[in-house]
């Protein structure tokens, strides 16, 4: 019985781990970019400009969303608009959090 439950839950858990790693890599890329350029305010400003763009990219889909700097699907607006549980299934951390962390580096 336990084996059946684990067989059902294992793919879900693996996907959640993969998405969490993707979100952590976004933070790491932001930090590396800030260290490389020595200008975290500039990177935060660039993310703010990207966040202001409300039009979804027509060529983007869920399979390619992880390749973009910010979520190209623009499905939700605002910090935690859909709650923390829905954010577990996102490939990108909230852009507001990324901007906040970059501004803290300054």
Q: Is the confidence at residue 80, as pLDDT, over 90?
A: no
**Could you tell me if residue 6 is inside a domain?**
no
Q: Quick one: 78 exposed, middle or buried, by C-beta within 10 A (0-12, 13-18, 19+)?
A: exposed
The parent domain of residue 81 ranges over 38-106
**Could you tell me if residue 23 is inside a domain?**
no
**Could you tell me if residue 14 is inside a domain?**
no
What digits encode the pLDDT tens for the residues 12-69?
A: 999 999 989 989 999 999 999 999 999 999 999 999 999 898 887 888 888 888 788 8
**Could you tell me if residue 22 is inside a domain?**
no
**Could you tell me if residue 46 is inside a domain?**
yes
| pLDDT of the residue at 47 | 94
| Nearest residue to 71 (alpha-carbon basis) of 86, 88, 51 | 51
**Could you tell me if residue 73 is inside a domain?**
yes
**Could you tell me if residue 4 is inside a domain?**
no
| pLDDT of the residue at 41 | 95
Helix axes 40-52, 2-37, angle to 10 degrees: 120
Q: Is the confidence at residue 78, as pLDDT, over 70?
A: no
Domain count, the chain: 1
């Amino acid at each position: 019985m336990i084996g059946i439950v684990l067989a059902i839950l294992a793919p879900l858990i693996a996907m959640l781990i993969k998405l969490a790693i993707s979100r952590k890599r976004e933070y790491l890329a932001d930090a590396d970019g800030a260290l490389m350029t020595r200008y975290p305010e500039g990177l935060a400003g660039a993310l703010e400009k990207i966040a202001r763009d409300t039009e979804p990219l027509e060529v983007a889909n869920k399979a390619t969303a992880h390749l973009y700097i910010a979520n190209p699907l623009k499905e939700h607006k605002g910090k935690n608009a859909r709650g923390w549980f829905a954010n577990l299934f996102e490939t990108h951390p909230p852009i507001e959090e990324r901007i906040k962390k970059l501004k803290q580096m300054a």
